[in-house]
Amino acid sequence: MAGHSPSIDSKTLWGGGSSPFNVSYGKIMMWFFLVSDAFTFSGLLISYGFMRHSFAESWPVAERVFTHFPFMHGDHPLLYVALMTFILIMSSVTMVLAVEAGHRMDKKNVTKWMAWTIVGGLIFVGSQAWEWYHFIHGTELGAFQLADGTIVQWVDAAKEAFYLPGKEQVMVSGAEAAAMLKNGVEVYGANLTVNEYGLPLFGDFFFFITGFHGTHVFSGVVINFIIFVNVLKGTYEKRGYYDMVEKVGLYWHFVDLVWVFVFTFFYLI
Amino acid sequence: MDFDRTREYVQHHSEAEGKVQRKMIWVIFWVLLGITAVEVTLGLVWNEIGLAWPFVKWTFILLTLIKAYYIVAYYMHLKHEYKNFIYMVILPYVVLVLYLIILALNEAVYVHDTHGLL
């Protein structure tokens, strides 16, 4: 009878009593998506591990690549990425506080914490842009690419002697260095084909993994913003629950979770 | 007719319960921050204080897994879901990823050892 459904109570409609998981449909689907996304990120990080183990001796040390800090001179390894990690953890806290406020139907606090989460996400994306800029731009001194493609690091600004890549620093200087320097080019910064810090593969993985994560953060900010507007409009207040905030919350925590792993495997190890 | 099935599964809690939850959220925040601080400090000083790299590396991995546990269990609330839901989410992931890690790293070491031979 189209247009006139008798009111069957939802327990009957389900056919099996209550949901076996006691979780709303939207949240289950978000979890499914997150598991599949986790596989993608794991694939990227594991392939990073594969290449790193394959080129164990010549792999650049991330600590020596990312040493810049805004408004500060000199080398500050790990400091900047630690700050980024802090920002993302902080925005995870504000997100979970928004979810908690939603459970109490506290519209004012959901609005406040969602707003802070969006701010945190934007700062994080901005920080990543800044780091990309420095990685692409490179150092003042640059490096040298020998005829066979090997990247060697200058000993000093005179650019007459250099270190070969490897665990022990092997210095080449004098006539031998001059002969090797005849064929080759100076390189500055990194892109997908050349990388002054060492293997181009390192740059490729850096751009792909942090880029893929950054895209997640950015889309998370956009989705958070849409939900934020709905919160402001009172959509969920009218609906009687803030399940939507929980769903975007799950996504946002996942983004933070991925960063925890990127931080460890890309920057620390 | 009410086809809004979500309504049946949403959780609400009282102001008193909210207070408890917020305290838990901040405690976990300090745990996460503390672990991150330890990681960064260790990353900066391990060489000077003479720790062996494998030890440092596995400490990093262990601390990361602890952080991941707190985020997933408490912030994503997975700890308080039904057992069968937890297994459905965690088991396929853990089994397949462990398998991939073991395979990939094993092959990577082999590839590394063949450099210069092929």
- Are B43 and A86 an interchain contact pair (Cβ–Cβ within 8 Å)? no
Task: Measure CB to CB from residue A49 to each of B2, B33, B108 and give the nearest one.
Answer: B108
Burial (CB < 10 A; 0-12, 13-18, 19+), residue A16, is: exposed
Give the model confidence (pLDDT) of B11-37 as tens digits.
889 999 999 999 999 999 999 999 999
Please name the residue of chain A whose CA is at the shortest distance from the CA of residue B69: A257
Domain boundaries, chain A: 21-137+198-268, 140-187
Contact with chain B for residue A31, Cβ under 8 A = yes
What is residue A21's predicted lDDT score, i.e. its pLDDT? 86
Please report which confidence band the pLDDT of residue A151 belongs to, taking 50, 70 and 90 as the band edges.
confident
For chain B, what is the HEC assignment?
Answer: CCCCHHHHHCCCCCHHHHHHHHHHHHHHHHHHHHHHHHHHHHHHHCCCCCCCHHHHHHHHHHHHHHHHHHHHHHHCCHHHCCHHHHHHHHHHHHHHHHHHHHHHHHHHHHHHHHCCCC
Task: Measure CB to CB from residue B107 to each of A10, A50, A250 and give the nearest one.
Answer: A50
Task: Give A-chain residues touching B43 at CB under 8 angstroms.
Answer: 63, 77-78, 267-268
Contact with chain B for residue A244, Cβ under 8 A = no
Please name the residue of chain A whose CA is at the shortest distance from the CA of residue B86: A21
Burial (CB < 10 A; 0-12, 13-18, 19+), residue B73, is: middle
Give the model confidence (pLDDT) of A29-83 as tens digits.
999 999 999 999 999 999 999 999 998 877 888 777 777 787 777 777 888 999 9
Contact with chain B for residue A132, Cβ under 8 A = no
Please report which confidence band the pLDDT of residue A1 belongs to, taking 50, 70 and 90 as the band edges.
very low
Please report which confidence band the pLDDT of residue A213 belongs to, taking 50, 70 and 90 as the band edges.
very high
List the single range of A67-71, A146-150, A185-189, B49-53 with lowest mean pLDDT. Answer: A67-71
Give the pLDDT mean for A203-217. Answer: 95
Q: Is it the case that residue A114 has pLDDT exceeding 50?
A: yes
Please report which confidence band the pLDDT of residue A174 belongs to, taking 50, 70 and 90 as the band edges.
confident
Q: Is it the case that residue A121 has pLDDT exceeding 50?
A: yes
Interstrand relation of A151-154 and A162-164 (parallel, antiparallel or unpaired): antiparallel
CA gap A190, B1 in Å, rounded: 61
Which residues have CB under 8 Å from B115's CB, separation 6+? Answer: A54
- Are B36 and A241 an interchain contact pair (Cβ–Cβ within 8 Å)? no
Contact with chain B for residue A53, Cβ under 8 A = yes
- What is the overall mean pLDDT for chain A? 89
For chain A, what is the HEC assignment?
Answer: CCCCCCCCCHHHHHCCCCCCCCCCHHHHHHHHHHHHHHHHHHHHHHHHHHHHHHCCCCCCCHHHHCCCECCECCCCCCHHHHHHHHHHHHHHHHHHHHHHHHHCCCHHHHHHHHHHHHHHHHHHHHHHHHHHHHHHHCCCCCEEEECCCCEEEECCCCCCCEEECCCCCEEECHHHHHHHHHCEEEECCECCCCECCCCHHHHHHHHHHHHHHHHHHHHHHHHHHHHHHHHHHCHHHHHCCCHHHHHHHHHHHHHHHHHHHHHHHHHHC
What is residue A83's predicted lDDT score, i.e. its pLDDT? 93
Give the pLDDT mean for A215-230. Answer: 97
Q: Is it the case that residue A168 has pLDDT exceeding 80?
A: no
Determine what percent of chain A is predicted with pLDDT higher than 70: 93
Diameter over CA atoms, chain B: 73
Q: Is it the case that residue B3 has pLDDT exceeding 70?
A: no
The packing angle between helices A79-103 and A243-262, to 10°, is 160
Please report which confidence band the pLDDT of residue A5 belongs to, taking 50, 70 and 90 as the band edges.
low
- Are A240 and B7 an interchain contact pair (Cβ–Cβ within 8 Å)? yes
Q: Is it the case that residue B63 has pLDDT exceeding 50?
A: yes
What amino acid occupies position A255? Answer: V
Contact with chain B for residue A83, Cβ under 8 A = no
Give the model confidence (pLDDT) of B66-108 as tens digits.
999 999 999 999 999 999 999 999 999 999 999 999 999 999 9
Please report which confidence band the pLDDT of residue B1 belongs to, taking 50, 70 and 90 as the band edges.
very low
Task: Give B-chain residues touching A105 at CB under 8 angstroms.
Answer: 12
List the single range of A110-114, A160-164, A217-221 with lowest mean pLDDT. Answer: A160-164
Give the pLDDT mean for A81-102. Answer: 95
Give the pLDDT mean for A208-229. Answer: 97
Fold classified for A21-137+198-268: Four Helix Bundle (Hemerythrin (Met), subunit A) (1.20.120)
Q: Which residue has the higher pLDDT, A173 or B92?
A: B92
CA gap A249, A95 in Å, rounded: 6
Give the pLDDT mean for A117-141. Answer: 93
CA gap A55, B10 in Å, rounded: 50
Contact with chain A for residue B5, Cβ under 8 A = yes
Task: Give B-chain residues touching A26 at CB under 8 angstroms.
Answer: 6
Please report which confidence band the pLDDT of residue B2 belongs to, taking 50, 70 and 90 as the band edges.
low
Most confident range, picked from A6-15, A21-30, A65-74, A217-226: A217-226
Give the pLDDT mean for A129-142. Answer: 90
Q: How many residues are given for chain A?
A: 269
What is residue A236's predicted lDDT score, i.e. its pLDDT? 94
